[in-house]
C-alpha cells in the first residue's frame, strides 16, 4: 500500500497547483526556460538537420516511501546475484552461450578477463512498479551507455524554480547519482591495481553520445584532481604499452565506457587500437564487454531456459517467474495469437537502445500491427508480454491537456551491485521513451518520520 506520507504529499501538491494556476504556470515556464538554457539542451553533433533536444517535465515529481526504497534495494540485490551467475555461466558453458547467439567477435570480447570484482559496474533495471501494492514486472536491463544521472541532478536543482516546492517545503530527500558513480568507478580502478591517481578517458562515439553528461563527469573527475578527457573511441592510439589520445597524447590508465556494445561492433574496424589495449589489459575498462550478456534483449528468453536455470536457486527461479514478462523470439511465436491479442504484446529488437524499433500493439492499428509482424518475422526481434503501466495523475502546464493520467516507468540504478537511486519517466503513450512523448521528473523519498512530527 502507498504510505500515508506519500499520499498526503501527492494530494497536497496537486491541490496547490489547482489553487494557484497562474503562479504554477509561470513557474513551469521558468523551469522550461532554465532547462533550455542549460547543458540539458543540446544538438547531436554532425546531424544533417540538427534539432535541439532537451528534457521535458511535469509539475509534480515522483514521491516514494521508505518501504519502496527498501523494496528497490532488495530487488536490485536479487537481480545482481542472478546476473553474476549468468555471466559466469556464459563464460564457462558453451550451451549457455548458444542461448544468446552472439557472433564470434562479441564472444571473444566477453571472454576478456575482468580486473575488478564487480561483474556489472553500472546497471539500470527499468521496471513497471505498482505503487499501490509494491508488485512489479521488468521492462529491461540496461548496462551499456547507461545515462541520465546528470539529467537527474539538474532536474533536482531546477526544483528551486517550482512554486509548489517553495511553498510546501516538503519533508523529502533525494539520492545523489553523479559523485556516487564517480566514487564507484574509482573503487573499481583501484581494485584493478591502479594505486596512483589514474588518467581517465570517458569514451563513446561522439556523434551518438549524450555529450552534456559526458562533459559533466569529466568536470567532476577534474574537480577531484584527476586528469580526465572525453575521447571518441576512434581517437585512441595504442603503441603496445599505453593507450593514448590521438589529439592530446594523454596516456590513459582507465576508461569509463559509454559506447554501447552494438556500436562498438558496428564500428569494430575503426576501433582496433582501443580493442587491442583492452585485450592486452593495458587499460582498466570499467564496463567490460561481459555486461552485454545482461544488456542484450536475449536475456529475456535466456533467463527462462533450463540450460541457465540450473545455475539458480529454487528461490531465484520463483523470483524470475514472478517478475519477468513472457518473452520469445518473434520467429517462434504464434502469429495468429499475436494478431488476435495485439494489445497484450510488444515487439523489441534483440539489440539496440533508446526504444528504437520498439512497437507496442496497444499504440497501433490492427493493420499496422499485422504489417509489422509480417515484416519483422525472421529478423532479430523478440515479442514480449505487454505489461500495463502503473498510472498516476500529473500535469504538463505548458500543454492544454490539463490533469491527466500518465504511464510510469521506474529506473533503478545499481552501482557495483548496490542500489544507488531512481530515474522516473512518465508518458501518455503506451511506451515510455523520448520518441514516445516522455516526461522526466525528479524523484524524492518521503521523510516519513519528519512528516509525522
Say what percent of the chain tops pLDDT 70. 94
Q: Which three cell numbers stand for residue 310?
A: 540450473
**390-423 per-position pLDDT tens digit:** 999 999 999 988 999 999 999 999 999 999 999 9
Buried b (16+ CB within 10 A) or exposed e, 391-402: ebebbbbeeeee
Q: Does residue 434 register a pLDDT over 50? A: no
**278-292 per-position pLDDT tens digit:** 999 999 999 999 999
The span from the CA of 186 to the CA of 192, in Å, is 10
The span from the CA of 202 to the CA of 185, in Å, is 11
Please state the pTM of the whole predicted model. Answer: 0.91
Mean pLDDT of 191-209: 94
Domain ranges of the chain: 4-299+388-452
Residue 433: CB atoms within 10 A of its CB come to 16
Q: Are 293 and 110 in contact (CB under 8 A)?
A: yes
Host H or E run for residue 236 = strand 236-238
Q: Taking Cα atoms as reference points, which of 293, 285, 267, 276 lies closest to residue 209?
A: 267
Q: Which three cell numbers stand for residue 115?
A: 580486473
Q: Are 107 and 337 in contact (CB under 8 A)?
A: no
Q: Are 423 and 432 in contact (CB under 8 A)?
A: no
The span from the CA of 315 to the CA of 234, in Å, is 45
The span from the CA of 254 to the CA of 257, in Å, is 9
**143-187 per-position pLDDT tens digit:** 988 999 999 999 999 999 999 999 999 999 999 999 999 999 999
9-18, 350-359, 370-379 — most confident range = 9-18
Residue listed under C-alpha cell 544538438: 43
Q: Taking Cα atoms as reference points, which of 411, 424, 441 lies closest to residue 140?
A: 411
Q: Who's near 223: CB < 8 A, 6+ residues apart?
A: none
Amino acid at each position: 500500500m502507498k504510505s500515508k506520507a506519500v499520499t498526503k504529499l501527492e494530494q497536497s501538491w496537486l491541490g496547490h497547483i489547482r489553487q494557484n494556476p497562474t503562479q504554477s504556470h509561470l513557474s513551469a515556464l521558468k523551469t522550461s526556460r532554465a532547462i533550455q538554457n542549460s547543458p540539458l539542451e543540446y544538438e547531436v553533433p554532425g546531424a544533417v538537420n540538427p534539432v535541439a533536444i532537451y528534457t521535458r517535465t511535469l509539475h509534480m515529481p515522483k514521491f516514494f516511501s521508505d518501504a519502496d526504497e527498501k523494496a528497490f534495494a532488495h530487488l536490485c540485490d536479487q537481480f545482481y546475484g542472478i546476473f553474476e551467475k549468468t555471466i559466469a555461466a556464459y563464460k564457462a558453458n558453451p550451451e549457455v552461450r548458444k542461448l544468446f547467439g552472439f557472433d564470434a567477435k562479441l564472444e571473444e570480447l566477453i571472454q576478456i578477463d575482468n580486473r575488478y570484482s564487480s561483474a556489472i559496474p553500472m546497471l539500470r533495471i527499468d521496471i513497471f512498479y505498482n505503487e499501490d501494492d509494491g508488485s512489479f514486472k521488468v521492462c529491461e536491463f540496461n548496462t551499456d551507455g547507461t545515462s541520465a544521472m546528470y539529467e537527474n541532478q539538474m532536474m533536482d536543482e531546477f526544483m528551486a524554480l517550482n512554486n509548489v516546492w517553495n511553498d510546501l517545503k516538503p519533508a523529502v530527500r533525494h539520492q545523489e547519482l553523479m559523485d556516487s558513480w564517480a566514487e564507484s568507478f574509482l573503487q573499481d580502478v583501484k581494485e584493478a591495481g591502479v594505486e596512483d591517481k589514474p588518467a581517465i578517458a570517458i569514451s563513446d562515439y561522439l556523434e551518438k553520445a549524450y555529450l552534456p553528461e559526458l562533459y559533466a563527469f569529466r568536470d567532476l573527475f577534474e574537480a577531484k584532481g584527476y586528469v580526465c578527457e572525453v575521447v571518441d573511441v576512434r581517437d585512441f592510439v595504442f603503441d603496445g604499452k599505453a593507450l593514448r589520445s590521438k589529439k592530446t597524447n594523454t596516456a590513459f590508465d582507465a576508461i569509463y565506457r559509454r559506447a554501447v556494445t552494438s556500436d562498438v561492433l558496428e564500428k569494430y574496424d575503426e576501433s582496433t587500437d582501443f580493442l587491442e589495449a583492452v585485450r592486452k589489459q593495458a587499460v582498466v575498462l570499467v564496463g567490460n564487454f561481459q555486461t552485454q550478456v545482461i544488456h542484450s534483449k536475449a536475456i529475456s528468453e535466456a533467463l527462462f531456459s533450463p540450460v541457465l536455470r540450473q545455475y539458480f536457486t529454487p528461490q531465484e527461479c520463483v523470483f524470475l517467474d514472478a517478475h519477468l514478462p513472457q518473452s520469445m523470439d518473434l520467429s517462434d511465436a504464434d502469429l495468429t495469437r499475436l494478431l488476435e491479442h495485439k494489445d497484450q504484446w510488444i515487439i523489441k529488437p534483440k539489440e539496440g537502445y533508446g526504444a528504437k524499433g520498439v512497437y507496442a500493439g496497444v499504440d497501433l492499428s490492427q493493420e499496422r500491427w499485422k504489417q509489422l509482424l509480417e515484416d519483422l518475422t525472421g529478423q532479430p526481434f523478440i515479442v514480449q508480454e505487454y505489461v500495463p503501466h502503473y498510472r498516476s495523475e500529473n500535469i504538463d502546464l505548458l500543454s492544454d491537456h490539463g490533469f491527466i493520467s500518465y504511464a510510469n516507468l521506474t529506473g533503478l540504478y545499481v552501482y557495483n551491485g548496490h542500489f544507488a537511486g531512481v530515474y522516473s519517466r512518465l508518458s501518455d503513450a503506451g511506451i515510455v521513451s523520448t520518441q514516445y512523448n516522455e516526461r522526466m521528473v525528479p524523484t524524492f523519498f518521503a521523510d516519513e518520520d519528519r512528516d509525522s512530527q
